[in-house]
Structure 1
Amino acid sequence: MYKILFNLVFRKMDPEKAHHLAFFWIRLAASIPGLKQLVALVLAPRHRSLRTTALGLDLPGPFGLGAGFDKDGIGIDGLSMLGFDFVEIGTVTGEPQPGNPAPRLFRLVDDRALINRMGFNNQGSARVAARLAKRPHTTSTPVIGVNIGKTKVVEEADATADYLKSTERLAPYADYLVVNVSSPNTPGLRNLQAVQVLGPLLWDVRKAADAAVAHHVPLLVKIAPDLADEDIDEIADMALQLGLDGIIATNTTIGRDGLREPAARIEEIGMGGLSGAPLADRSLEVLQRLRARTEGRLTLISVGGIETAEDAWQRILHGADLVQGYSAFVYQGPFWMRRVHKGLAARLRASGHRTVAEAVGTAKPR
């Protein structure tokens, strides 16, 4: 049904407008008393066997929505209604910003991929923090990750102060916090991945989060797939030395290899980060390298090219404590999480492992 709707309606729309329309309907459904529970019952039946613990958090399952879909934390309940086990909002910057000029989001349908150069369009950390502060906290409240990045107009030399501003405002409302230094769409941002810059930045963010909140807020860093293997090793070592809680791997890629989309259209689209199916192999490689380097001492969240339950299961077997998706949600629609959870539960039963956590990292390295 969704595939027909996608081909007849969404595929003919500007991708960003289609996103806003779909997100509006998700939020609307979640705001209607009774309808939210009914939709969740149909789309998101929970499998008790998938319950897991990571980052010190109890989660209904291992599969969350990656950052970028809900930049301002306006649809958390609706996304949880669709079955995501946790929702990462953002990227949120210190100051509000409109992002890059449109068009800035493009579909590569034959590749099951997206290219975006959104540029961290968001309402800013003060407004997002105020919104999160109003959310009720109950036993059924979704787990929320908050992804923070650098405001575009802030100079690279002043990046730390900008991150600290967001940390102080948002850490009190985050179940975990992510420092994003890997988007290709903010000039100079990826320069912050150099360990001599990244280490002090993360250390300062850790101190700011501890000062802002009485309890420990898990801190992770999100890295790019385009890093050299040696740089990945250095970041892993640094994360262990700093006592970081985890790493999210990976963000979008600037690469364009192996695409089915005609080269002329790829050139016409221009700059931006590529996500979706073409990222799967490299994302898995980075995960395996991180797992081997850290030996289970960090929480690893794998994202990039995960489309099916089998994809998610392979990431878990190769060392991912948690997994995330985004691009496949665009192409597969609201029943996606239902299919993934059903498939994961079946694979867990067949594996002989009692829990997801028990299965993590049990595959032999390729």
Structure 2
Amino acid sequence: MAARVWRSSFKEILGRRLKFSAAGIRLSSSIPGSDVAAPKIPPSLKKGRLLTGTMIGLAIAGGAYVSTVDEATFCGLLFNATRAVNPLFALLDPEAAHRVAVSAASHGFVPREKRPDPAILGLEVWGRKFSNPIGLAAGFDKHAEAVEGLLGLGFGFMEIGSVTPMPQEGNPKPRIFRLPKEGAIINRCGFNSEGIVVVAKRLGAQHGKRKMENTSSSPHSMNDEVKQGGKAGPGILGVNIGKNKTSEDAVADYVQGVHTLSQYADYLVINISSPNTPGLRKLQGRKQLKDLVKKVQAARDEMQWAEDGPPPLLVKIAPDLSKQDLEDIAAVALALRLDGLIISNTTISRPDPVSQHPLAGEAGGLSGKPLFEMSTNVLKEMYILTRGKVPLVGCGGVSSGEDAYKKIRSGASLVQLYTAFAYGGPALIPLIKAELAECLERDGFKSVQEAVGADCR
């Protein structure tokens, strides 16, 4: 069985055009970095070719093991093999490395998780079934280029975006800064987006492909299949929408995003918490938030929906909020029956050990390990303020199964990561899920849902 899987996957890889348009990389018949290559290749492209060649080489070398291992073991070998590749990304500029990673996932040059998730990790939120609560946060696949490949890594869900109505370049480069010893990143990308029209075309194509696959596999299983997974693949897809930097009507921007993209989303997110768009965080004020949520809910509800109804609407908030700010947001969420909150976005503060880092003075939002305690405290506070009536998504500093477990005990039904994935690569995902399952079993919980808010009771 494993041999058949390998032959099929290998044939598929060979059949793909070995092209990484996002990074400006094309593999030719020459060996990357050899004398045959074109002269004066920029160093970043040379490194990109080396990285790409290494990834493909590892995939080919893995075939030697196929005849002696079963499918699950082989799958584990592929994920572990990415540990050898991932350090090479550090040789590239952060933004170039990010483009290569997204392009690799979009072309299928990443392992695909074929092992079932532990049953203890399964849960249902908003009437949607998640095979596990670990998701990829918005910001990694901003333009919906690699949804299938990223969900195939084994995430229970992922979020694309933020997507703005009109295309925009974002802030000037450099705008992403690594702090590897601290497990952190500072970014001030500023909603760089290809715009809702481009993203809608991509999501529409993926949605159509998903429908065709379900129909062809079994005409009677389509509804069950979509219920188990989502509109774009085996996991649940969230669409995160933002406003254009120069827009004078933020509400209109969010309404336009809902009208164009909500039909492809398993859930929608209003991002009003990025620190890199001037004035955006002012929308978290009680009056502004209430007005925004009301109008966006109305825009969503006026559309025609099938039996499943409209996608749930969530709001993503910042960790840099006062007690009064949190109380106001909780009051709006309860009064308007908001479907959920994501807690949290990046922080403009520089908690230890980042405060003494040479890059601490760079403007932008800080993500990663130093954000964990702050974001988890806000998560716990919001769970208490909403009395557990509003599903919460815990985001910020998660790098292990134990971290995910702490988020869940603090009130999160679902957990997102980004920075740890950027540093740890695909091999981190099965590790986090296994650790989380061990934590739940260790403390006697039979499911994720039993553990939600355990530290707040």
TM-score (norm 2): 0.74
1:200 partner amino acid: D
Deviation of 1:171 after TM superposition, in Å, equals 1.0
1:102 partner amino acid: K
Matches of 2:253 and 2:91 in 1, distance apart?
39
Mapping for residues 185-196 of structure 1, pairs under 5 Å: 185-196=276-287
Describe the shift of the 1:341–1:194 C-alpha distance in structure 2 as closer, same or farther (beyond 3 A). same
**Residue 197 of structure 2 corresponds to residue 126 of structure 1:** yes
Give yes or no for contact 1:220–1:246 (8 Å, CA) kept in 2.
Answer: yes
1:167 partner amino acid: V
1:341 partner amino acid: K
- Alignment equivalent of 1:207, drawn from 271, 283, 298: 298
2:276 partner amino acid: N
Query: Which residue is equivalent to 1:82?
Result: 153
Deviation of 1:318 after TM superposition, in Å, equals 1.5
Deviation of 1:28 after TM superposition, in Å, equals 1.8
Describe the shift of the 1:260–1:153 C-alpha distance in structure 2 as closer, same or farther (beyond 3 A). closer
- Secondary structure of the 1:254 match is coil
Deviation of 1:359 after TM superposition, in Å, equals 1.4
Describe the shift of the 1:241–1:339 C-alpha distance in structure 2 as closer, same or farther (beyond 3 A). same
Deviation of 1:216 after TM superposition, in Å, equals 2.5
Query: Which residue is equivalent to 1:331?
Result: 423
Describe the shift of the 1:264–1:340 C-alpha distance in structure 2 as closer, same or farther (beyond 3 A). closer
Matches of 1:193 and 1:298 in 2, distance apart?
17
Query: Which residue is equivalent to 1:24?
Result: 103
Give yes or no for contact 2:354–2:360 (8 Å, CA) kept in 1.
Answer: no
Query: Which residue is equivalent to 2:275?
Result: 184
CA-atom RMSD in angstroms: 1.7
Mapping for residues 186-265 of structure 1, pairs under 5 Å: 186-214=277-305, 215-260=309-354, 262-265=356-359
Task: Name structure 1 gaps, 5 residues minimum.
Answer: 31-35
Compare CA radii of gyration and give the structure with the larger one.
Answer: 2
Mapping for residues 135-146 of structure 1, pairs under 5 Å: 135=206, 136-137=210-211, 138=214, 139=225, 140=229, 141=233, 142-146=235-239
Q: Which has the higher contact order (CA 8 A, sep 6+)?
A: 1
Give yes or no for contact 2:380–2:456 (8 Å, CA) kept in 1.
Answer: no
**TM-superposition CA deviations, 1:120-170 (whole Å, max 9, x none):** 111111221122112224425221101011111102xx1111111111001
**Residue 107 of structure 2 corresponds to residue 13 of structure 1:** no
Give yes or no for contact 2:398–2:404 (8 Å, CA) kept in 1.
Answer: yes
Describe the shift of the 1:262–1:359 C-alpha distance in structure 2 as closer, same or farther (beyond 3 A). closer
- Secondary structure of the 2:129 match is strand
2:350 partner amino acid: R
Matches of 1:314 and 1:265 in 2, distance apart?
29
- Secondary structure of the 1:39 match is coil
Q: Which moved more, 1:221-230 or 1:47-56?
A: 47-56
| Identity across matched positions, percent | 43
Matches of 1:265 and 1:323 in 2, distance apart?
28
- Secondary structure of the 1:90 match is strand
Describe the shift of the 1:257–1:346 C-alpha distance in structure 2 as closer, same or farther (beyond 3 A). closer
- Alignment equivalent of 2:137, drawn from 42, 66, 72: 66
Deviation of 1:49 after TM superposition, in Å, equals 2.0
- Secondary structure of the 2:360 match is helix
Describe the shift of the 1:258–1:355 C-alpha distance in structure 2 as closer, same or farther (beyond 3 A). same
Matches of 1:354 and 1:183 in 2, distance apart?
36
Matches of 1:190 and 1:27 in 2, distance apart?
32
Matches of 2:355 and 2:246 in 1, distance apart?
34
1:275 partner amino acid: S
Give yes or no for contact 2:384–2:456 (8 Å, CA) kept in 1.
Answer: no
Query: Which residue is equivalent to 1:91?
Result: 162
Matches of 1:107 and 1:247 in 2, distance apart?
28
- Secondary structure of the 2:239 match is strand
Give yes or no for contact 1:113–1:277 (8 Å, CA) kept in 2.
Answer: yes
Query: Which residue is equivalent to 1:33?
Result: none
Deviation of 1:4 after TM superposition, in Å, equals 5.4
Give yes or no for contact 1:110–1:261 (8 Å, CA) kept in 2.
Answer: no
Describe the shift of the 1:363–1:265 C-alpha distance in structure 2 as closer, same or farther (beyond 3 A). closer
Give yes or no for contact 2:392–2:414 (8 Å, CA) kept in 1.
Answer: yes
- Alignment equivalent of 1:106, drawn from 172, 177, 184: 177
**TM-superposition CA deviations, 1:265-320 (whole Å, max 9, x none):** 323xx211100001001111101101111111100001001110000011111111
- Secondary structure of the 2:349 match is coil
Matches of 1:324 and 1:115 in 2, distance apart?
18
Mapping for residues 277-356 of structure 1, pairs under 5 Å: 277-356=369-448
**Residue 242 of structure 2 corresponds to residue 149 of structure 1:** yes
Matches of 1:248 and 1:125 in 2, distance apart?
22
**Residue 259 of structure 2 corresponds to residue 168 of structure 1:** yes
Describe the shift of the 1:6–1:262 C-alpha distance in structure 2 as closer, same or farther (beyond 3 A). farther
1:227 partner amino acid: L
TM-score (norm 1): 0.92
Give yes or no for contact 1:111–1:261 (8 Å, CA) kept in 2.
Answer: no
Give yes or no for contact 1:108–1:261 (8 Å, CA) kept in 2.
Answer: no
Matches of 2:103 and 2:122 in 1, distance apart?
29
Matches of 1:198 and 1:187 in 2, distance apart?
16
Matches of 1:174 and 1:364 in 2, distance apart?
31
Deviation of 1:259 after TM superposition, in Å, equals 2.6
